Structure 1
Amino acid sequence: MRLAQLSEIIQRRMGWCPNTGMVRAAPSVLSMPLGVMLPLEPDGSAGGSGRIGRGIEVLSGSIKTLNKEKRLLWFSVLTGLVIAFMFMAQYALHVLGSYPYEMISSTLGVVLTFCIELISVFCICLILAGLFLSRPADPVDAGVSIRLGLSKATTHARAFVCWSGIMAVLGTSVYLLIVSTGDLTIQSLITRFPFGYIVTPEIYGSGPIAGLFHIQYASLATIQMMIINVALFILTAFVIPVLVLEKKPLWAAIGESTRLMKKIWGEMLVCILLLGMVITGFSLISGIFQVIFSAVLLDSPFWYEFYYKGGWSAVAALYMAAWFTLILIITTISGIVIRNIYTCTTSGRMPGVPEGYGRKETSG
């Protein structure tokens, strides 16, 4: 009887029943993959290599998400429309403010520049909010439609107007400061970019159809404002997620975004550098246009047949279309990165990983 009682105690304590069939279990070493050892709230022991690894993991996961949910590319299309608006508005602004028209004063030009920035930033806020609301916290769950996500985003329009006003004041001020200082660094980079090779150099002039003159200015202004806006959105990356996901007031969202940025600045920096390297690498291909343009003789048959009959402009236009498409895809990836990092920071796990998975048990 003592052996039987001892056997019952062992079975009860270990949760084992002799009548239960054998269950195969995966090795314990596979139950805790390294990739889920988050949250993105590193303690003092987390070094730079840990931040780099987590940043790479978040970025690769975001790319996989976009590859799996190609419907999110509609946000790239919407972003492209906003950039197209900025370009056309800057083009019209330059036409109206140039000789022989000069229909607007410099003061009115500044006001219109602010209006362009305000509208653009507001639209970008709506697009980002729609992206965040279209995706669930866990990709295992089904997300809502793009239209429904954007519809939900419009409920925060008042907060977006206030936030866009703040961003537009800062963005316009920095843009005007760059213009007033006469810094030619960005301008020289853009003029070396193959914008000038899409429209033949013969089309110069100051009229509304003078392609190169106004196109280069509009391109320069648009890219400068895009760079400024990207920098501002990076510095305040979590304001929009906190506004739409936690439904906090604007000033609380700004404070919460600052607090979160202090925790995961390393991971954000890794993602920014990697995406920036992709853009820079593809942009450097434009140097081929300059080499060919300088090497080919003007009186050669190739130059006459290829350049003057439109082949050169067609190739440059295809390159610019590919470059612009890459930029738009990266904008969507960046939005997914912000959403995933926000989820990691607030919930302590990567999206798609069941809660508690990979954590140590603390049962007594």
Structure 2
Amino acid sequence: MAKILMKGNEAVAKAAIEAGCRYFFGYPITPQNEIPEYMAKELPKIGGVFLQAESEVSAINMIYGGAGTGARVMTSSSSPGIALKQEGITYIAGAELPCVIVNMMRGGPGLGGIQPSQADYFMSTRGGGNGDYRTPVFAPASIQEAVDMTMEAFDVADYYRTPVMVVADGMIGQMMEPVEFKTPKKRELPAKDWATTGTKGERKPNIINSLFLDPQELEDHNIKLDAKYAQIEKNEVQYEMYKAEDAELVFVAYGTTSRIVKNVVEELRAEGVKAGLIRPKTIWPFPFKAFDEIPAAKNLLTVEMSMGQMIEDVKMASNGRWPVSFYGRVGGMIPTPQGIKGKALEVIGGAK
């Protein structure tokens, strides 16, 4: 299949359609607006539905309803918009409904700015809404990965009956790269016999809800969800090891930041410093086991476009085996190779 030059947001939208998404509910916000624009143009051509809701809160509750019918549905937004959707996301998780939620992250807190950021790590990986729930979170580092992960996200959502997030900094949404649309690895997906499709006089009504007034029933439900999340942690971890096997200084970075770090790794190795990178491709489940594959490591350096959120998971992964340092830029400022390299040399000097 020939590659097509596409803008990131439009490529994500096309990937969703290729994966069978036929219903999109959303609300405009920079820097993800090309996703709903593409959906508004293309979905009606194939019998699908695009609907611009009156707010992000309305959009996520429309997703709840669409997902309840068993259809493949998606919404997208950017950081403060995703924050508004969190109540609906926890309802969807509690009701065990599959859907895909795309977040093209921008700076915050609050309205912040419209430039790229990675400051939604906590909100994405810790649930974000009330209650004991998690959502699988893909973190692409290129537009091709954004395409692949968006398509896979629909299968993961259907397989586990859960909302799945695809998060990227706004740069992924706005830049252009050549992409191809490949069929994801096939999964045997369960039948959607829970869906509210009408009984047709052949079965009892399906009831979809996240309300359990009996404490024992709610505890049983939470235990069931927790078992599901344990299976996701066991089966759905994805990561990349980049020259990390013999590295004494191991960077940890995801998304666009990891691409910048790879250049720094090359520069440091050219100067005789054994550097490498662990790149989480899923930030939940986090690839803790990757840290068992760096026997030569002496220092870990986490690089993020935030004030340091992923560093908490890196410290847990380290479990005291290595000192963990941090370098970050925020507010839409993008880490430079020079800044990262300077921090790396400082860490190495401090370790001698």
Give the TM-score range, shorter chain.
under 0.3
Which of structures 1 and 2 has the larger relative contact order (alpha carbons within 8 angstroms, sep 6+)? Answer: 1
